[in-house]
Structure 1
Amino acid sequence: MPPPVFRFAPSPNGDLHLGHAYSALLNFELARRSGGRFLLRIEDIDATRCRPEFEVAIYEDLAWLGMSWETPVRRQSEHLAAYRQAIDRLSEQGLIYPSFESRAEIVRLVADKEARGAWPRDPDGAPLYPGTAKSLLSEERGRLIEQGVPFALRLDMAAARAGHLRWREQGEGPAGETGDVAARPEAWGDVILARKEIPSSYHLSVVIDDALQGVTDVVRGQDLFWSTSVHRLLQDLLGLSPPAYRHHPLIRDAAGQKLSKSTRATGLRELRAEGASPADIRRLVGLP
């Protein structure tokens, strides 16, 4: 039997913080203890936010923590053709449609819906897509695309839903879900799989990358637990074998909020500059 394959897949859009350190170290330790492989993947699809200096910092921070990984490192920006092929395959199945509303227009549509009653939201709390682009005639879609109107490619969830999907959870979800978990992709509505300017979403690229790299064990934070529902659906539609999943608790700040680059959580580089050692980082995240 081949060895298990684990991965850590950060985006180079800011400095790594303690939450990243915990996830990376946990993957590294599980790979080492099981005699498995540990991969590092750079998720740099969004060229507007990802920067080379942050990628260099990722390598430096992980090496400082005592970690090593296989090379070459997979960088998503070098594999756009693989995501396009997946989009084409789903399109050929009639499962994708373009939506042309701007983010501001979608906010207004949601506000209008909510003024008339409750409007459903996804597991992250964001409102489901409220537009009517799915009902546009192909001629109208073609005209808008020819005019250069920006668009997002959405998965037609009603058409894509296939059977009763499940996944094997070796950790636990936010409410203690573990073991054999039923996927609920419909809870996310018609998710975006790509935009005109960004060739793949997180949902699509992570599924493709894990499959192409032979990842057997996905170990990540509980904030992504219900995203696994969408990933299981995409795996099913694309004929990809699902890995085992282990979702771990999040590292939180003093106010109980999860650490985030967007809230400027203290980075590993800042902690290191203040005199922290790799052992201090392990202690702060609760690892021996």
Structure 2
Amino acid sequence: ADPDRPLDDARLQHESHGSIGYLNPVRPSLITIVGHTETNYLEALGPNSRSDTLDRLVQQRPWLVIIADGLPVPGDLRERAREHDLPLMVSPLPAGRILEHLQYALSAALAEKKTLHGVFMEVMGLGVLLTGPSGVGKSELALELLGRGHRLVADDAPEFRRTSPDAVHGYCPPLLADFIEVRGLGILNVRAMYGNHAVLEHKRLHLIIDLQPADTRPEDPADRLGRAQRERNVLGVAIPEVRLALAPGRDLSVLIEAAVRNHVLRLSGYNAAEDFMQRQRQAMEPPAS
């Protein structure tokens, strides 16, 4: 088969729900898997029915036919694949395992994508996106976090995909993998400087931390207490967001870690601001007579 044969994207979008499946002579999937069950089915057919079944398969122009379980390729299927320029592969994996792997890979490849400006890192096990205006110091902060044992996923332009109804994962474009750009230092190779453990290929997005220059606008009391929970819509998923004001003397790496720890507590159902307010209310109540 021609490895450069173009694939029909419109056909994939139209048939995405049944794009991978077992041998179906009525409506073959774009990627058809032939395992023990399907082989036994073909062997049980009469010569004419078997020939008609294989003819219908190749005439539907599937993208690929995989013979699973390490089974030998039927000779009549091999001939038809050669005649119709149909890709044919053999795998030692069970048919069910192949189906699982391909469905996962295809769903990831077809997931809606979005590129966001910022630095995406793993901080204390959570995926954290650092955002803010250009030149605010996101990459410098990322270096501080790397020095504290946290890990880099992508600098400048992480790519995000919605992988399930309530989950967004971030990836690093291949061109940017391992690199970070810091003003005054230029391009740095994080893997070479900090080791393989300092770099991740992908991570689920749990929290966005927006870095903004401090200004003279009066603070909202709710912001000071941390009662208000901001969210940002990323590919239709609401992602919690924390806004940090930049000011001289603030140790941002410590603040980032504190924000992540506080987010973990919120996930467990604990809200420090609400706890504090409850203590105040109890202190203001008159003592029971």
* Shared fold per TM-score greater than 0.5: no
Q: TM-score, with normalisation over the residues of structure 2?
A: 0.21
Which structure has more relative contact order (CA 8 Å, sep 6+)? It is 1
The structure where strand makes up a greater share of residues is 2
TM-score, with structure 1 as normaliser: 0.21
Rg larger in 1 or in 2? 2
